[in-house]
Amino acid sequence: KQWYQRRVRGAATQYAEVLIKRYGYNKRIGLVTVPDKDDDLTQFAVHEEIRKLFDERYEVVKADLLRHKQAWRRVTDHLVEYKTLTGGEVKTLFEGGKLMRKPGDLLPNK
Tell me: the pLDDT tens digits for 40-88? 777 778 788 888 888 888 899 899 999 999 999 999 999 999 888 999 9
* Closest to 20 (Cα-Cα) out of 60, 47, 55: 47
* Closest to 24 (Cα-Cα) out of 49, 41, 4: 49
pLDDT at residue number 92: 94
Question: How many other β-carbons are positioned within 10 Å of the β-carbon of residue 49?
Answer: 20
Tell me: the pLDDT tens digits for 6-50? 555 677 788 787 777 777 777 776 666 566 666 677 777 878 888
Surface-to-core class of residue 20, CB atoms within 10 Å of its CB (0-12 exposed, 13-18 middle, 19+ buried): buried
